[in-house]
Structure 1
């Protein structure tokens, strides 16, 4: 687990072993069962989660009572509700395990302290957040402008693990299409 975390973090910024040990000492590990919540809507998000194993989804429930999936995250990805985490306000989304999921957890206060003692850690998270912003902009500006079939093909070609691990109705929700239409696309 520590080596997996070290491999990820040093992919973007160089840290020595002492720094890695200090960073790792501030993380806590937790395993969530399938359907457990890492964060429930209306809770204040106090943590940033690094996924060691498993798969989660972020979603909200619209005014018609339908779940709208905004994000999936799997191994070696970070997940949080950034607005709630930064502003310390109740989250409008929930984060839920789709399968048994083990995470490393950074509590916000601990991470803020580490930014002072190991400034390059802040650079690491800046890079991670920039990549998240690019993904969000891509989804909002380009992805949702694509035809449904093209969105599905793009998702499957870029993230083939999702097709095997995520229930089809969740993929349909993420792609903003009906499960029936997704079935039709898959048949073709």
Structure 2
């Protein structure tokens, strides 16, 4: 995926902007189960997933509760930690081998100073939060599953039922019944 295609998901950028962006980003490779962000760390960057997938979760030492599922061609970060610059209540882990582009907040600020076009990154920080929709509405398990498969169709091909059920806050057995009836 080219820098032009990545930036097209954010806004409109000149060739000069794209060159500036390329100077500030870093490519990172993760193996399955590598941590991108640990619980308690402050999130300092946004990541664009080139390949692979990640999951964001909270752990009490015994159980992992899935907070979000991230797929290729998606921007990923821990919103409360990044915005408030406070320790993250969640961790982000590679579900499979993955490659990302990292843009640190510091580098984003430097880009904004050089070109106002980078203010359009505000869209990344205000992107639709599927989780908010799922839990701010009284949706049945079937409606939750229908919504998430429309919003992120690859989820059901990448992640196991148990993880999707945790994300949707329904029992895996309930999700299996819902999937069987779809």
The answer to whether the superposition gives a TM-score over 0.5 is: yes
CA deviations over 1:135-179 (Å, ceiling 9, x no partner): 34322322xx11112211222244221111101110010110111
- Corresponding residue of 1:89: 86
**1:109 maps to 2:113:** no
- Corresponding residue of 1:138: 133
Q: Give SS of 2:43's match.
A: coil
User: RMSD value over aligned CA atoms?
Assistant: 1.9
- Corresponding residue of 2:142: 149
State which of 153, 161, 171 in structure 1 corresponds to 2:164: 171
Between the two proteins, the alignment pairs up a number of residues equal to: 181
**1:80 maps to 2:73:** no
Q: TM-score, normalised by structure 2?
A: 0.90
Matched residues in 2 for 1:85 and 1:11: separation?
20
For structure 1, the residue ranges without an aligned partner over 5 or more in a row are none
Of 112-121 and 156-165, the range deviating more from structure 2: 156-165
Runs of 4+ in 1 over 6 A off after TM superposition: none
Matched residues in 2 for 1:181 and 1:98: separation?
23
Q: Give SS of 1:7's match.
A: helix
- 1:34 Cα deviation after fit: 1.1
**1:45 maps to 2:43:** yes
**1:54 maps to 2:80:** no
For structure 2, the residue ranges without an aligned partner over 5 or more in a row are none
